[in-house]
Amino acid sequence: MNESGRLTAPTLLPPALDVRYDVDDLGHPTVTAVVCLGEDYQGPPGSVHGGYLAAMFDNLLGVLPYRLTGKRGAFTGRLTVRYRALTPLNSELVLTGWLTSVRSRRVTAAGQCHVDGVLTAEAEALFVRPAAEGP
């Protein structure tokens, strides 16, 4: 709280992700990012705030429509995050993502966050590519 008794919001943005592009065992394209978040990103005591996890999923999965389909970027239409366990601070978070379908301008993707092999969160997202520009 500040001097007026009002709550102040943190001004931190989610960290920039260093994304690695790969393929899974079946040859499907994937993206992976590894990040470690400190106390500035705390929500529940000792754990990452869920809003930062959601923002990181949006960033990670949002590169899929362009990077893996070769078509221009897309806007987030829906992002659903399921929090499965507390995500600890000061730990290596491994975020992975993959395309689940591409239909016309609609691209869906899914992702997971693991810490030491434990699933802490998973996400599903719908991205919509802009309509073709006119002449």
For 91, the domain range is: 20-128
pTM of the predicted model as reported, rounded to 2 decimal places: 0.86
Identify the segments of the chain with pLDDT beneath 50.
1, 134-135
Per-residue pLDDT, 134: 44
CB proximity list for 88: less than 8 A, separation 6 or greater: 46, 47, 48, 115
Q: Which residues pair with 113 in a beta bridge?
A: 95, 121
Q: What is the pLDDT of residue 67?
A: 76
10 domain residue, yes or no? no
Domain contains 7: no
- Residue 1 included in any domain: no
pLDDT (0 to 100) of residue 135: 46
At 59, which CATH number? 3.10.129.10
Give the pLDDT confidence score for residue 70 in this predicted structure: 76
Q: With respect to residue 8, please indicate whether it lies within any of the assigned structural domains.
A: no
- Please count the structural domains in the chain: 1
